[in-house]
Amino acid sequence: MKSSSPKTQTHFIKSTAAKLGFSFCGISKAAFLEEEADKLETWLSKGYQGKMSYLENHFDKRLDPTKLVEGAKSVVSLVYNYYPEKDLANNHNLKIAKYAYGEDYHFVVKEKLKEFMNKIHETIGEVNGRVFVDSAPVMERAWAKKSGIGWIGKNSLLLNRSMGSFFFLAELILDLELEADGPIKDYCGTCTACMDACPTDAIPQPYVVDGSKCISYFTIELKEEIPNEVKGKFENWIFGCDICQDVCPWNRFSQPHNESRFKPHAELEKLSGNDWKEITEEVFQKFFKKSAVKRTGYLGLGRNIKFVST
């Protein structure tokens, strides 16, 4: 198949994505993201990255896929649903983001991507490429937008008309000539639900998020004490936050995922507010053994629980 046309290879890529459980697959030409360069520079110059200094590194790699994969010709953007069957945030007064209910998506989606690359090598032949899932300097939302999977909403997340925004984005950067898709229009209209609902005012203007004010930043990325000026504004979120997604009208189209590894630990939904406050390191390790919640660590989670509870 190596010598076959870009059209045939594109069909193979899209049908393989569907077979592996990805909800959407869009393709872009691997080229410098010129329109993103100024936006990224401005965002960083305003300090919106907070203490996430890693976002200041690899500026060129973030914008140029050929610096990540030599000779890159195509960026394949993929969507993997994580919307849960049950919203646990309604069951108890301390809340964790839906994406962290089950097994860490880095492991789950990365395995799918490796399988994808194996299938490419088996069918198409020797293709140089790399797989990414939120773990390298790849501007995933910009690529997804470029490929027509959705548009970037006012909360800076990618929105899709048929499934909202409760999904993970992943990419394959390949030195393979594929047929590119085009972007779609923005369907946010005059809606400002996400901006109005954010309790820490982390969306100062449409399409721009001040990362240093986001509840997810405070509860996951910030390693020091949470500043007092945001006390009482977390609405009981102790790991991540779904507020700007929960209020988004497009998320009324979200459908539960089919990924068994994203199912929460059986005991998780039974945790009451007091259970959370009294959680031991042993219970933490048991419940969150393979979960993204491990990113904040036992002490970090304890800090967050104390911050919203006292």
Indicate whether 158 and 29 sit together in one domain: yes
**The pair of three-digit structure tokens given for residue 244, joined into one six-digit string:** 């700007």
38 inside domain: yes
Q: Which residues are catalytic?
A: 134
pLDDT interval class at 2 (50, 70, 90): low
Residue 70: domain span: 6-87+96-174
Query: Element (H or E) spanning 281, and its range?
Result: helix 281-287
Indicate whether 239 and 136 sit together in one domain: no
Mean pLDDT calculated for residue range 266-294? 90
Indicate whether 111 and 219 sit together in one domain: no
User: In the prediction, which pLDDT does 74 show?
Assistant: 98
Rounded CA gap, 84 and 87, in Å?
Answer: 6
Rounded CA gap, 35 and 52, in Å?
Answer: 23
Indicate whether 152 and 225 sit together in one domain: no
pLDDT interval class at 291 (50, 70, 90): very high
Rounded CA gap, 12 and 21, in Å?
Answer: 14
Rounded CA gap, 125 and 290, in Å?
Answer: 34
292 inside domain: yes
Indicate whether 100 and 148 sit together in one domain: yes
User: In the prediction, which pLDDT does 197 show?
Assistant: 98
**The pair of three-digit structure tokens given for residue 236, joined into one six-digit string:** 């009981």
80 inside domain: yes
33 inside domain: yes
Q: What is the pTM of this model?
A: 0.94
Using alpha carbons, select from 134, 135, 158 the residue that is nearest to residue 146. Answer: 158
Indicate whether 224 and 134 sit together in one domain: no
Mean pLDDT calculated for residue range 191-197? 98
**The pair of three-digit structure tokens given for residue 194, joined into one six-digit string:** 């996400």
Pairing between β-strand 95-96 and β-strand 237-239 as defined by DSSP bridges? parallel
Residue 112: C-alpha distances to residues 8, 108, 126, 216, 275 (Å): 22, 7, 19, 26, 35
Residue 41: C-alpha distances to residues 37, 38, 206, 287, 310 (Å): 6, 5, 17, 40, 38
The CA dihedral of 114, 118, 124, 128, to the nearest 10 degrees, is 50
Indicate whether 106 and 60 sit together in one domain: yes
**What does R_g of the chain's alpha carbons equal in angstroms?**
20
Indicate whether 63 and 170 sit together in one domain: yes
Number of domains in the chain: 2
Res 35 pLDDT > 90:
no
185 inside domain: no
- Cβ distance 27 to 188 under 8 Å? no
Indicate whether 210 and 157 sit together in one domain: no
Structural domain ending residue among the three candidates 139, 174, 209:
174
Chain-centre distance for alpha carbon 54 = 17
Indicate whether 147 and 232 sit together in one domain: no
Indicate whether 126 and 83 sit together in one domain: yes
User: In the prediction, which pLDDT does 185 show?
Assistant: 96
183 inside domain: no
Indicate whether 43 and 165 sit together in one domain: yes
Structural domain ending residue among the three candidates 111, 146, 174:
174
